[in-house]
Amino acid sequence: MILNVEHITTYRYDRPVRGVVQSHRLQPSVFDGQRVLSWDVTVTDGTRGGGFRDGAGDWVQAWSVLGPVSEIAVTVRGSVETFDTAGMLRGLREMVPPEAYLRDTASTRLDAGLAELALAGQGASGDLDAAHRLSAAVTAAIAYRPGVTEAHTTAAEALAKGEGVCQDHAQAMIAVARANNLPARYVSGYLHAEEADHEAAHAWAEVFVAGLGWIGFDPANECCPDARYIRLGSGLDAQDAAPIRGTARGPGTESLKVAVAVQSVQQ
């Protein structure tokens, strides 16, 4: 499948700021499930800084904008050919050992509710079966409902609400997988979805299964990632894997608007 992406993130400041520095994870991952045909990232009046591939195999790119500035747009446009690998992450070159993804974060920390949900992995026939059971349990426990959670909502809070978005499903999946001693991480990317209520900017979880490697699970859509997905990067949780991170120098209050479109192209 060939997918075209247009992703525009607009930052506005109620008072001009002296400058902005950002770190991007906006380059599609290099692995067997996708091939970049074209890809371009621009920042309004921005200067591209240094870039490097981190231990998880993600490309990290620095940008800076000199002020005074009241508005910045980060624009991503590109085309990616994707392949269905049944959720298996084959061909990604990384150096971080899977065990590093057993440690929790504030967003994925276990509470009583998550500990109870994690029991769904008990009695499984193996790690892969346990991961599938846990994904199904998260799907059943957290209904997909846009707008009911926010960027800093934790997995425990989303479970207590019983509803949330893909970020909440992914972080809950990570929490219960780690509770079963399965390394798990958060993945950011894009999804070509026909359902109008599913956003094109998407997130899911990857679980490490001995003998198979990293396998993606998307409880929000009750499936493993396939050719509809574009993978950008990963981290311990949503904040760690954020496609854009940065800081503005000045007293201005920041507001954010995001527009994402993913379209399938006839081959």
With residue 129 as reference, give the H or E element that holds it. helix 127-141
Q: Say whether pLDDT at 131 is over 60.
A: yes
> Whose CA is closest to 32, among 208, 183, 221, 214?
214
CATH of residue 64? 2.60.40.2250
CATH of residue 211? 3.10.620.30
Six-digit token string for 6: 């247009």
Domain hosting 128: range is: 87-231
> Bridge-partner residues for 206, per DSSP?
185, 216
Is residue 144 in some structural domain? yes
The reply to whether 63 and 151 lie within a common domain is: no
Is residue 237 in some structural domain? no
Is residue 127 in some structural domain? yes
Region 262-267 average pLDDT: 80
Residues 191-236 pLDDT 10s: 998 764 566 799 999 999 999 999 999 999 999 999 999 999 999 9
Residues 10-21 pLDDT 10s: 999 999 999 999
The pLDDT value recorded for residue 193 is 82
The reply to whether 217 and 260 lie within a common domain is: no
| Phi, psi values for residue 91, rounded to 5° | 90, 0
Q: Say whether pLDDT at 80 is over 60.
A: yes
The reply to whether 53 and 92 lie within a common domain is: no
With residue 76 as reference, give the H or E element that holds it. strand 59-82
The pLDDT value recorded for residue 145 is 93
Is residue 143 in some structural domain? yes
The reply to whether 75 and 104 lie within a common domain is: no
With residue 136 as reference, give the H or E element that holds it. helix 127-141
Q: Say whether pLDDT at 238 is over 60.
A: yes
The reply to whether 127 and 210 lie within a common domain is: yes
The reply to whether 73 and 132 lie within a common domain is: no
> Bridge-partner residues for 261, per DSSP?
6
CA atoms within 13 A on the CB side of 182: 35
Is residue 236 in some structural domain? no
138-173 as b/e, with b when 16 or more CB fall inside 10 Å? Answer: bbebbebeeeebeeebbbbbbbeeebbbbbbbbbbb
**Helix, strand or coil for residue 70?**
strand
Residues 139-195 pLDDT 10s: 999 999 998 999 999 999 999 999 999 999 999 999 999 999 999 999 999 999 876
* pLDDT band, residue 266 (cuts 50/70/90): low
Is residue 239 in some structural domain? no
The pTM (predicted TM-score) of the whole model is 0.94
CA gap 250, 267 in Å, rounded:
48
Residues 20-75 pLDDT 10s: 999 999 999 999 999 999 999 999 999 999 999 999 999 999 999 998 999 999 99
Is residue 7 in some structural domain? yes
Q: Please count the structural domains in the chain.
A: 2
Is residue 39 in some structural domain? yes
The pLDDT value recorded for residue 196 is 46
